[in-house]
Amino acid sequence: MKISCVQMNMEFCAPDKNFRHAKNLIKSAAEDNPDVIILPEMWNTGFFSKEKLRELSDVDGERTKTEIGLLAKSLGINVVAGSVANVKGDKVYNTAYVFDRTGNTVCEYDKTHLFSPMGEDKFFAKGKGFSTFSLDGVKCGVIICYDLRFPELARSLAVQGLDVLFVVAQWPDVRIPHLVTLAKARAIENQMFVAVCNSCGSTDNTKYGGNSVIFDSWGNELSSANGSEEIITAECDTDILSDKNKSINVFCDRRTDIYNLF
């Protein structure tokens, strides 16, 4: 599976401009013929407008499905469309959408861990679950930014036989070492590929740090970005996962009989 991360610099509170920019970047990434293209977190609005959140948000993912889903179909490429501010009913969610090569929505995931230090929990509703999905026969999962700090979530996905975990983020520049370290740990402990697509630039008063990265299941860095807008790509040979699981089978040796998680 060839994966491209689009490390995008979006404009705060400007969804029209951001949709145009995201589509242009996806088309640029497609020139390298990847199997999957990934966008970062909340690329439609930036993270996040407290005053005009509902006004700027997508509604039931309609615009994302129409514009990004159709683009995935026209290019014939799977797209992990980052996440968008998204109104569903009377609540706003931070929602990730994934489209297959035919433009069908194969995953819709609402962020479960909301970043309380920036008040995300006061403006967004919490997601209530997670799901796996297949892209070209490869079992995948997606989490959003702060979710990465909760190993329970990644492990819950991993025990379902995950091969690739996509992490879409708007991770601040000052904590980039945490992003890279946590992503590497999730790859090693769960024996899966981890592809992180972070944003860059600034929204409101926060600078975002880029440094998108793709790790293999041994924690080896396959590709990484710097702090500015760019596209990174890596070949992820998921065939190595069967050999890895044979040599160090942590899933066979887990002690679920003594774990006490609350």
Q: Please list the active-site residues.
A: 41, 111, 145
Sheet of strand 133-135, all strands in order from the earlier edge strand to the far edge: 133-135, 138-144, 164-169, 193-198, 213-215, 221-224
Angstrom distances, CA of residue 207 to CA of 12, 106, 122, 200, 238 = 12, 32, 22, 7, 34
Q: How far apart are CA 252 and CA 127, in angstroms?
A: 30
Chain-centroid distance, C-alpha 6: 11
Q: How far apart are CA 84 and CA 36, in angstroms?
A: 18
C-beta separation of 117 from 149 below 8 A: no
